[in-house]
Homo-oligomer: A and B are copies of this chain.
Amino acid sequence: MNINDRFCGDKRLRIIEAAIAVFSRKGFHGAKVEEIAEVAEVGKGTVYEYFKSKKDLFLEMVLYIHKKYEDIAAREFLGVITFRQRLQEFFRVTLEFLHQHKEMALILLADHPPVDGDVNRLILLKKQQQVSKVSKMVEHAIEQGEIRPVNPKAVAQLILGSLAMVGSQVVLGEEEKEPGDGKLEQDVIDIIMRGLK
């Protein structure tokens, strides 16, 4: 173990971070393993020491991104009680994550085109998990009487759909320096809350 190891961190992680940068810019088929290796500052062969194929690296990268997002979300949600607050937090945390990790965001948001059965299954699964998480949040709010009784799935679509739209503005729009300062986000939340009262 030399001094470099401390600096460079675990190679596996370096490769995943590089994969995020390259896959998000070029898409799955457009990205070259060699470029990922260069960005990660490792040899091309080294990528294959940690991941058995390009596809495997892509799948592991998707898992890593979702995990990172969920960790942040979980941390921020502690102590939040009312539905409106939760919704606010959900938008805020998500948009901030997107803003800070634009590259990852492109992968989270993008309906990446069919790459392969395995990839599609994983991405679909992750989407469904999110829908069901939001649905549960809504169901809980209904039980608490915070909002009127509505189809929780419909609300989940509404919330996730508009969040994705606003989010893609944040990611693609380079003119906006600060993500939260835009009233757009608040306006969207307002309309949703009014519709649910």
A74 in the interface (beta carbon within 8 A):
no
The chain B residue with its CB closest to the CB of A23 is B113
The chain B residue with its CB closest to the CB of A187 is B154
Stretch binding the partner chain, chosen from A8-16, A39-47, A188-196: A188-196
Instruction: Give the Cβ gap from A59 to chain B, nearest Cβ, in Å.
Output: 16
Which residues, 8 to 34 on A, are CB-close (under 8 Å) to B? 24-30
Are the CB atoms of A113 and B28 closer together than 8 Å? yes
Q: Give per-residue flags for A134-176: 1 if the beta carbon is below 8 A from chain B beta carbons, else 0.
A: 0000000000000000110111011011111110110010000
Given contacts A162-B161, A165-B161, contact A30 B194 (CB under 8 A): no
Query: Bound state CA distance, A163 and B195, in angstroms?
Result: 16
Stretch binding the partner chain, chosen from A60-68, A93-101, A104-112: A104-112
Instruction: Give the Cβ gap from A99 to chain B, nearest Cβ, in Å.
Output: 16
Are the CB atoms of B196 and A191 closer together than 8 Å? yes
Q: Which of B25, B150, B165 contacts A164 (CB 8 A)?
A: B165
Are the CB atoms of B114 and A26 closer together than 8 Å? yes
The chain B residue with its CB closest to the CB of A151 is B187
Query: Bound state CA distance, A134 and B27, in angstroms?
Result: 29
A80 in the interface (beta carbon within 8 A):
no
A interface residues with partner B (beta carbon < 8 Å): 24-30, 106, 109-115, 124, 150-151, 153-155, 157-158, 160-166, 168-169, 172, 183-184, 187-188, 190-197
List 6 additional contacts besides A111-B168, A112-B113, A161-B165; criterion CB under 8 Å: A26-B114, A106-B113, A113-B113, A153-B184, A153-B187, A154-B191
